Structure 1
């Protein structure tokens, strides 16, 4: 197989979140539409059944029957209006985004090699998407919007999703659960399927804040309304929360001191972000980092962290990328790969390693040849300062 052959399956696997986000958004629109239909048509069927029974019993006048029919018609018209508004405001735009993203991915299927100009253009757009994703995840929303508008890729990035994430996280950091609880209410069934307990944690935090402010009666009522429903899965936490009524905010008792800890708000913000990533099938790391991890893992060697053998052209030896590379495993090489420290190129049969006669320092034939051409046939080792003619260099054979 050619080294330049495009791995379409690998690209599609990596791009799953890119296509899944609008798909999940449209599923949400579909579920909302389904609830409207079930609610309104259910009421119409009930009214129709009641009216039919009354007609059969002869207990309804023509005027009452007409009013009942008018009421059913009004319900159906209201349903039609709601569905139309939902489709115009969310359904159609989401379908447009989904179509455009799938068309963008479909371009790859017609490309055979990574050397084709079409792939370079497609990869440039992909890199722009990754940069916008990185900016959004790091709170640089204005930068992300500017870049997306400049590149014309607004429908290929998830600015609105991350804007909602930032809004809800800001509310949690400002010690308000209102926005997050509203989101949990909209996604309750999905959260229940993945056994996520974010809603309970938010309810528990609101209960704690009531006690912190001395509103113990309100806290008891709140607990009966919102916490008791979770007793089958969180009985111990509910018991501990009940005992919190007896402890002041400045308590030194471990379990209750942790409940009063203000750091819980940050933990809630982090839990919310993980939950929405999970429901949106987004990775927790920026896509740019994941792509870089793959490349760094193929290059990372133990020598990259040795100050004596660092290569200026090696990404792992770079201080910034080196920190990112610390999180990936070392590359597994069946055969040794030797890289020239002068020009960063691999030394092999076509670019043989050459050693200085005295110090034994090794560099590539190509790099030393270029140096000799500029210095009347003489080469100088940059590490030891040894100088000799190019013809005095020794070939090195790797066994």
Structure 2
């Protein structure tokens, strides 16, 4: 039976997939635009000056030739800059966009989720999600290996996450330089989303100057970089100014918090949030988001009862994984709501099979219920005796009672 493919549902996860190279190309375009405006602005001013001097008769032939040669030199220099920018950044980004759009276009030509073409596309998508997860959790070498082995380098954002990792490492080393450079490159976009990241970075650099007791440098830094934010951050600037009177070991609440080293971790979190927002990347790995959908359909209260946990249920899997930072599927399942079932499905604790009219539930005298198939198999192996795995109660199979589902 053919399963109709929900293209809109599939593409819900794919907005960041196309947005990241688009943002990269937009940066290339802005850089090109700045170069054009700067160089052609000078050429235009020179032309205006020459025309003005020619009108009043003060233009000399040698001066005109020299000015024209200078304009030609600027235009040739601009041409080289734009050509180099296109070859090093523009063309590779165009190729990435073309590959990704072609990958997305493939799904629109498919009509069934059961065919081999869709399976190949879904396998590639899973590989992309695995690379995304590796990049977000610091497993860069694994991410590169998967991307290379699967031939999907143009379909994953390794370069973006390498930049994120480089800047976050600098912040971990208590340096704001790299992050401030990134803020300057994305100043317009950060202003649109009303991000305060740049102010937070400037404030931290000011705090570090005071921590080092470089008072005069801190005052000069405040005048140069903090005062311009007074319309929106006046209260914070005033508190920061008063910090000059408090040493790093102060116990006064507001100023002790400013000296708190945990501010660097907050800066790393704020930076990553800003990067994700600009590139429309979700805060969590795409692999997790996809798993949430499945876990939400399976999660039941019995998954958190030790006596009813099923070894085959992903939600019941809450054991830590070696080398991982958290729990298994059960850890992810904690983030999703319980599943709503109009009709309950009863699963045998022993066999993991569904109990229904063909595999009726049977109850021990203690009240614990298991499937008929599992208990018959147990009785056949133990001379007609069955034992409840939860209570340890043993009895003859004939003492079990049928349970009717209503």
Listed one character per residue, the Cα deviations across residues 109-135 of structure 1 (whole Å, up to 9, x for unaligned) are: 222222222222222211111111111
For residues 374 and 146 of structure 1, do their structure 2 counterparts lie closer, same or farther at Cα, with a shift above 3 Å needed?
A: farther
Distance 1:85 1:252 in 2: 56
Matches within 5 A, 1:1-399: 4-319=3-318, 320-348=328-356, 351-356=358-363, 361-364=368-371, 371=377, 380=386, 383=389, 384-388=393-397, 396-399=403-406
Alpha-carbon contact 1:353-1:362 (below 8 Å) kept: no
Distance 2:361 2:387 in 1: 11
Distance 2:364 2:248 in 1: 76
TM-fit CA distance, 1:108: 1.6
- The aligned length equals 394
- Say which SS state the counterpart of residue 104 (structure 1) adopts: helix
Distance 1:286 1:292 in 2: 10
For residues 364 and 50 of structure 1, do their structure 2 counterparts lie closer, same or farther at Cα, with a shift above 3 Å needed?
A: farther
For residues 212 and 397 of structure 1, do their structure 2 counterparts lie closer, same or farther at Cα, with a shift above 3 Å needed?
A: same
Listed one character per residue, the Cα deviations across residues 74-104 of structure 1 (whole Å, up to 9, x for unaligned) are: 1111111111111111111111111111211
TM-fit CA distance, 1:360: 6.1
- Say which SS state the counterpart of residue 44 (structure 1) adopts: helix
Unaligned stretches of 5+ residues in structure 1:
none
Alpha-carbon contact 2:379-2:397 (below 8 Å) kept: no
Listed one character per residue, the Cα deviations across residues 246-296 of structure 1 (whole Å, up to 9, x for unaligned) are: 111111111111111111111111111111111111111111111111111
For residues 77 and 382 of structure 1, do their structure 2 counterparts lie closer, same or farther at Cα, with a shift above 3 Å needed?
A: farther
- Say which SS state the counterpart of residue 10 (structure 1) adopts: helix
For residues 255 and 300 of structure 1, do their structure 2 counterparts lie closer, same or farther at Cα, with a shift above 3 Å needed?
A: same
- Say which SS state the counterpart of residue 160 (structure 1) adopts: helix
Distance 2:295 2:220 in 1: 55
Unaligned stretches of 5+ residues in structure 2:
319-327
TM-score, normalised with respect to structure 2:
0.90
For residues 364 and 81 of structure 1, do their structure 2 counterparts lie closer, same or farther at Cα, with a shift above 3 Å needed?
A: farther
TM-score, normalised with respect to structure 1:
0.91
Distance 2:181 2:46 in 1: 32
- Say which SS state the counterpart of residue 175 (structure 2) adopts: coil
Alpha-carbon contact 2:363-2:402 (below 8 Å) kept: no
- Say which SS state the counterpart of residue 181 (structure 2) adopts: helix
